[in-house]
Structure 1
Amino acid sequence: MTHLAKGANVPVPTAPLRIAVGRQQAPGVPAVEASAVLLDAAGTVRGDADIVFHGQPAHPSGAVRHVGTGEGAGQFAEWLELDLPRIEPAVQRVLVAGSCDDGTFGQVPGLYAQVTSADGTILTHYDVTDASSETAFVLGEFYRRDGAWKFRAVGQGYDSGLAGLATDFGVEVAEAPALAAPPLLPTAAVTPPPSGPVALHGVGKSDSAPGGVAVPPMAKPVPVAVPVPMRVPVPVQQASSIAAPAATLATPAAMPSWGAGLFHFEPLVFSGKGAKTVTVDLPFPQDSAPVILEARVGPQYRFLSVQIVGRSTDVFCNDLPDHYGRALLNPPRKGGPIKLMVRQSGTWELTLLPLTAALPIGPGTIQGSGREIFVHTGTAADLKVRAKDPHSGWFQLNQYQGDTPDDLRRPAEQLVHAWNGRRVKEKVRIPGGPLLLAIDKSRHHWELTLDPLPLA
């Protein structure tokens, strides 16, 4: 393994590689969104598809992908995959970049880029030590030299944010409202990581399960693909709110009653167009807790149907108001793999996530739409629920709680239920956590306000 100083370079094998854009885990650290930018010989992008990020997770060539998040040893990272032999000859450089919408990179402790081989061997590591007021950052770049590939530690920041970075490489950035990633929920003190880089795990390739397929990009952003999260519930008040969706935000330690018994696995992504059956070939244990099925659909059709083959009930059978939604899925009681029948008239993408991907909810107000899954680990609280739907659809908020993972397979209480009503305006009381809150039926745009009760 080679430790790089800023400006230094090192040869890398012309092979599939994985890149972590990582940082130390600590309370209140700004979220860092990783992206890859493909450049031609002139140093510019050829089009929107040459920017790969969470909302556009795969290049059309399949050679560059954003594959999610991972954590370990007190560190958190977003992962990119580069299959260097498959990168088109016209592409001469691939930048590894990050953006920080809710702070600056000077507030991000232990920022680094780490390159590993497909088997997890760390090839090179670059620590960023001079970040300050930047809101976008090029950490490194892969570039061709004499028929081979090298990696250079760049360390170039932009105070003008992602728009400034994108403009430098030929992207015309139109003004558009950006979704800012909300601050992380305060957590317990973090033990400093051991000295030296540690290989992170917890994210698998999106075609790692039989039946999975490479993820094509969804509809191109308009007017330009500037990396922002596709959809994040937005905090209205600056308070201990929720964190951006990720497969590893909540941890078993934050779910003491049943966290240790949850089934943990690497996120799996499936995509397609029209009707299709996919197989989730995971060894689910007997009486497993539910998992989370995240769905995204293309711009033309919002209605999605997803059904477990052999069951009469649906996981999804509704509109996704912002072309996005998340629902609980119960694996078979006997364990083993799952077959899903997907019906949709256009393009779709499904991501299977462990229950630890539930969004932490804390004091304050958040807004969103459609179906969503939250985890509450705080004290007893009043929850104000406001929702409206111009099409007079159903709205249902359920609470899931118990002592074992199996208890989470069915709602413990129905907190709010409204049908054929345009508006929901209720206040309900929830006990201390850990518990799950699931908006199980909704085409509504909703607002949730959590107000902890005074301690006795």
Structure 2
Amino acid sequence: MGHIKESSWVPSVTLRVGIGNVGIAALLLGADGRVRGDADMVFEGQPVHPSGAVRHENTSLVLALHEVEAEVERIVIAGPATTGSLAAMAPDRAVVVAWLIAHPDDANAVVFGEFFRESGGWKFTGIGKGYASGLAELVAEFGVEVAEEEPAAAGPVPLTGVVKMPGQAPPADGDLVVESASAPDPDPDPAPAGPFPPADRPYELVEGWEFGPVFEPFVAEGFGNDVIALDDRVGTGPVLVELAHEGYGYLGLFPLDRRNKDDGFLFNALLPGFLGSAAAQTPKGRPLRMRLDAENRWILRVKPLAAARRLEGTLSGYGPEALIYLGNGADLRVEFEGDPKDGRGYVGIQSYGVGGRTGGRLPDMDLLLNEIGALRQTVPVPQGPQLLSLKAEGPWTLTVNELD
């Protein structure tokens, strides 16, 4: 089961596909359901397809669907048997696929799902088919030539050409060997997994939004727990804090008061592949300091509040996010899929009307939604400009229906 319950359309753009820190592979198939050659398998040891349309980056895949060769009808996503959530993220950070994975009984490798062409576009469908004999059996079904390794010679022997999925033991006799060129040297600073973004990701300010200071972004990166203090480039007032956290594990971000103690929290989550944003208040006369509780690699950015995504039409995401609304009074349709693990999880929306304000503190909050579990509800949103603080422990979609 998962967010995608039937075949669903996805945009023909560049998608980043990941399952936490699980290593995955892509198989590019023709109309006959088979690869044209071993080069049509993209994985850690063969990280770039000859067309350049599919790449393996650390444990995630980058699929430029608009650049895939016309002969390719399907792109199968496979890897070692696991549980978790397969997510595909578009360049605007919208999560277009969120598929909950169950570990098939007695399976060592799984076809998680596939992207396929239909009516000039692309769709995704979840599959979850397991293979007891592992990756060798799986890829052979799609036409990849599998060969047994030669007996080991004396002394160290490089494992050139051997498929090595992260989290698996080294291949034994009879395991998968793809006859291909030597794999490149390991990247000393590999790209992060899943939707983990680069530190220098570009952004734009929402035209017509005037609330909060404007400044050059502040960026910090690290691994594990830390204390982060902003420098003097960030003015006094509300700012946008973005935080990305790689893989699985707890993540919390807590502003510190003058006594250097926690003063509420901005994030408090267990979502895998976390990427969220929230509004924070920079205090007057001292820098904003925050305590970070993290288990893995992270990137934190502080930007003007005007860099938040604008809510108009239909918008999708995964996890907490600060949104800007500039329209008329509206009915807001909220679709929340719940926590990927159990379908529960919290979802709430707080509204802050900032009309006529350019600085200072956020005004009083109006609570629009406060629920637990998957839901389909419509809530009223006041006329903008509004800052909407969305707290969500899973995938969500918002659709705005402005009133006349």
TM-score by length of 1: 0.45
- Give ranges in structure 2 of 5+ residues lacking alignment: 1-11, 16-43, 49-54, 79-86, 95-188
What is the aligned counterpart of 1:416 among 349, 355, 369? 369
Query: How far off is 1:179 after superposition?
Result: 4.0
Shift in alpha-carbon separation, 1:285–1:262, aligned structure 2, 3 A: same
Q: Are positions 1:429 and 2:397 aligned together?
A: no
Alignment partner, residue 329 of structure 2: 380
Could you tell me which amino acid in structure 2 is paired with residue 274 of structure 1? G
Q: Are positions 1:323 and 2:280 aligned together?
A: no
What is the aligned counterpart of 1:254 among 184, 196, 208? 208
| SS of residue in 1 equivalent to 2:350 | strand
**2:335 & 2:364 partners in 1: Cα distance?**
21
Contact 1:367 1:447 (C-alpha < 8 Å) held by counterparts: yes
**1:180 & 1:409 partners in 2: Cα distance?**
31
Alignment partner, residue 243 of structure 2: 295
Larger radius of gyration: 2
Alignment partner, residue 291 of structure 2: 341
Shift in alpha-carbon separation, 1:298–1:285, aligned structure 2, 3 A: closer
Contact 1:247 1:357 (C-alpha < 8 Å) held by counterparts: no
CA deviations on 1:143-188 (whole Å, 9 max, x unpaired) are xxxxxxxxxxxxxxxx749xx9xxxxxxxx975886444699xxxx
1:45-84 pair list within 5 angstroms: none
Query: How far off is 1:371 after superposition?
Result: 0.2
What is the aligned counterpart of 1:305 among 243, 252, 261? 252
Q: Are positions 1:400 and 2:373 aligned together?
A: no
1:192-203 pair list within 5 angstroms: none
Contact 1:276 1:343 (C-alpha < 8 Å) held by counterparts: yes
Q: Are positions 1:281 and 2:235 aligned together?
A: no
Contact 1:385 1:448 (C-alpha < 8 Å) held by counterparts: yes
Contact 1:283 1:337 (C-alpha < 8 Å) held by counterparts: no
**1:438 & 1:361 partners in 2: Cα distance?**
11
Query: How far off is 1:415 after superposition?
Result: 0.5
Q: Are positions 1:361 and 2:361 aligned together?
A: no
**1:179 & 1:444 partners in 2: Cα distance?**
14
Contact 2:335 2:398 (C-alpha < 8 Å) held by counterparts: yes
Contact 1:293 1:352 (C-alpha < 8 Å) held by counterparts: yes
- Give ranges in structure 1 of 5+ residues lacking alignment: 1-29, 34-44, 50-55, 60-98, 102-134, 137-158, 165-172, 185-215, 222-228, 232-244
Could you tell me which amino acid in structure 2 is paired with residue 398 of structure 1? Q
Shift in alpha-carbon separation, 1:183–1:219, aligned structure 2, 3 A: closer
Alignment partner, residue 22 of structure 2: none
Alignment partner, residue 38 of structure 2: none
How many percent of aligned residue pairs carry the same amino acid? 23
| SS of residue in 1 equivalent to 2:306 | helix
CA deviations on 1:183-239 (whole Å, 9 max, x unpaired) are 99xxxxxxxxxxxxxxxxxxxxxxxxxxxxxxx655346xxxxxxx658xxxxxxxx
TM-score by length of 2: 0.50
Alignment partner, residue 83 of structure 1: none
Query: How far off is 1:373 after superposition?
Result: 1.4
Could you tell me which amino acid in structure 2 is paired with residue 414 of structure 1? L
Alignment partner, residue 399 of structure 2: 449
Could you tell me which amino acid in structure 2 is paired with residue 326 of structure 1? S
Q: Are positions 1:271 and 2:203 aligned together?
A: no
Which segments of structure 1 move beyond 6 Å, counting only runs of 4 or more?
Answer: 30-33
| SS of residue in 2 equivalent to 1:254 | coil
| SS of residue in 1 equivalent to 2:282 | coil
Contact 1:31 1:183 (C-alpha < 8 Å) held by counterparts: no
Could you tell me which amino acid in structure 2 is paired with residue 305 of structure 1? G
Could you tell me which amino acid in structure 2 is paired with residue 338 of structure 1? L
**1:392 & 1:46 partners in 2: Cα distance?**
38
| SS of residue in 1 equivalent to 2:349 | strand
**1:180 & 1:278 partners in 2: Cα distance?**
29
Contact 2:247 2:273 (C-alpha < 8 Å) held by counterparts: no
**2:317 & 2:93 partners in 1: Cα distance?**
16
**2:242 & 2:267 partners in 1: Cα distance?**
10
Q: CA RMSD in A?
A: 4.1
Contact 2:227 2:291 (C-alpha < 8 Å) held by counterparts: yes
